[in-house]
Amino acid sequence: MTDPAGVTDPAAVTDPAEVTGRRTSAWVLLLHTITFRQARGLVPVALAFGAARGLDGGVLTVVALVVGVTLLSLLWAAVTWWRFSYADTETAMVVTRGLLSRSVRTVPLDRVRGVEVEAPALHRLFGLVRVRVDAAAGSTGGTEEELLVDGVPQAEGDRLRARLLARRARVVAGAPEADGDPATAPPAEEPEEEIARFDRRWLLYAPLVGSYLAVPLAAIGALFRLIDEIPDRFVPELDRPDLPDGAVAAAALAVALLLLALGSIIGSAVVNWGFRLVRRGGSLIAVRGLVTRRHTELEIDRIRGCTVSQGVGMRLVGAARASALVTGLGDAARRGQLLPLGPHAEAWSLAGRLVDDPGPLVVHPPAARRRSVVRATALGLLVLLAGAVLTAVASSDWWPLLVAGAVLTALGVPLGLARYAALGHAAGPRSFAVRSGWLVREHTVLQGRAVVGWQVRQSWAQRRAGLVTVLACVGAGTGGYAARDIAAGEAAGFARTASGSWAGTLTPYG
């Protein structure tokens, strides 16, 4: 069976060897040339060639190298495009690539975990998108995507996403195809339920989030470095205002803080602009982005829990983030976000829709508080002791070390108490929760069925204090979530209540 363009319909065959796949848009050649995708690997080779040939650094040499690298990059992109094809069959996704070393990758549809349609700015200029397919099918690329189809029209990206997820649902359920041609029948539209929508007022939380401050900090650092590299003859001489040095420093600090705040707000807007989270059938769909538009779909049946995180600044204003813990999801820190930034109540409302509340957290024993304070003040006490000994034995010139130790010890006490206050755990009939962290407090709620194993950790100091750390091993998120410094006698009961009687044999070390 062929489509109007003469390409064999991949849905009509199931043997990957018999599939004649589809090619991406030819516009991707120009796109990859503009973004120097292939040229990045050629530039070091060109520079090494120029150094070996003893070429001078004149304008003609530079132009020749640029033209040569661009032409080679375009040729490389053309060969890559010509030898790349993809096909969505009845039961699998097939991707073929390579010229000398040919590769055919087949991923069964029942291993597909999610599909993301991404549209960066240049892609949108050409009307193209990227389609990322997450699949638990033995990827060997580490951080590399399971499957990436780069440079298809927007309509084709939406079709591929809808067909892959729809067929996956039918394969898992064992349901037959609907009557008619499955390759041309459009997927049935399902009603949408809007769960969350980003409020522009939430952008004011951005200056309190470290990840949004990182970009303007890096930009300011690069700007100062660039100014430092400019020759003095090109730097204009500005008259210094007739102000005290303290006033100038205060004004510079105020300007820097204002630029950081504005930069973080702009960065948050670029990433989260137009964020919507909707439920359609058995999936959660998140759409976001100003420059790069992303369409992420998460299968609800594979969500095993939810994490609500708050930094120090976010806690002061009642803000939080909410992320879903999904099995087999690549780049989970970004793609699992249910609420990138918003009020604390909104984040917990989203979490409550996905995971049952296990109840209030259990307060950890006083021994955990003592251990937390001791660990937080240990460095300060060591510096204080060293300063006292050196001041008494050597000379009084060591008194600054003594003062520094006293200050560190005094600051360690509230830090240890804050770390202890962040601890907590709870277990309910179908879910359990753990909480920890002072700088970034993370409250994670997991379904009991998510646990694939339990582990007890107990250091020498914990054994003396009668404490343990219980680690729940799960197949989602970071892979393990710990209840730190709980009473040793509560470990088995917590694990048994959280995941069933099979965990009742969990015991700390003797």
| pLDDT at 177 > cutoff 60 | no
Burial string for 463-491 (b: 16+ CB within 10 Å, else e) reads: eebebbbbbbebebbeeebbbbbbbbebb
Element (H, E) at 393: helix 366-393
Alpha-carbon distance of 497 to 17, in angstroms, equals 50
Tens digits of residue pLDDT in 412-445: 999 999 999 999 999 988 899 999 988 899 999 9
DSSP state string for 172-223: HHTPPPPSS-TTTSPPPP--EEEEEE--GGGGGGGGG-HHHHHHHHHHHHHH
Alpha-carbon distance of 406 to 382, in angstroms, equals 10
> How high does pLDDT run on average in the chain?
79
| pLDDT at 91 > cutoff 90 | no
| pLDDT at 186 > cutoff 60 | no
Alpha-carbon distance of 470 to 461, in angstroms, equals 15
| pLDDT at 461 > cutoff 50 | yes
| pLDDT at 21 > cutoff 80 | no
Alpha-carbon distance of 281 to 299, in angstroms, equals 9
pLDDT value of residue 9: 44
pLDDT value of residue 148: 86
Q: Quick one: tokens of 12?
A: 């009509």
pLDDT tier at 6, thresholds 50, 70, 90: very low
pLDDT tier at 168, thresholds 50, 70, 90: low
* CA 445 distance to own-chain centroid: 19
Handedness of CA 148, 153, 158, 163 (dihedral sign): negative
Burial of 376: CB neighbours in 10 Å, binned 0-12, 13-18, 19+ = buried
pLDDT tier at 331, thresholds 50, 70, 90: low
Q: Quick one: tokens of 78?
A: 């053309």
pLDDT value of residue 138: 46
* CA 334 distance to own-chain centroid: 3
Q: Which residue has the higher pLDDT, 424 or 45?
A: 424
Q: What's this model's pTM, rounded to 2 decimal places? A: 0.76
User: Would you tell me the crossing angle of helices 39-53 and 59-82 to the nearest 10 degrees?
Assistant: 140
Contacts of 328 (CB under 8 A, 6+ apart): 113, 114, 134, 135, 136, 302, 475
Q: Do 267 and 291 touch, CB atoms closer than 8 A?
A: no
**Over pLDDT 70: what percentage of the chain?**
76
User: Angle at CA 105, nearest 5°, toward 102 and 110?
Assistant: 170
| pLDDT at 278 > cutoff 80 | yes
* Residue from 447, 177, 135 nearest 299 by CA: 135
Q: Quick one: tokens of 319?
A: 């803000």
Q: Do 116 and 51 touch, CB atoms closer than 8 A?
A: no
Q: Do 410 and 380 touch, CB atoms closer than 8 A?
A: yes
Element (H, E) at 132: strand 128-135
Contacts of 367 (CB under 8 A, 6+ apart): 465, 466, 467, 485, 487
If phi > 0 it is left, if psi is from -120 to 50 it is alpha, else beta; for residue 486 that is beta
Lowest mean pLDDT across 266-270, 335-339, 465-469: 335-339
Question: What would the mean pLDDT of 365-378 be, rounded to a whole number?
Answer: 94
Lowest mean pLDDT across 84-93, 166-175, 374-383, 416-425: 166-175
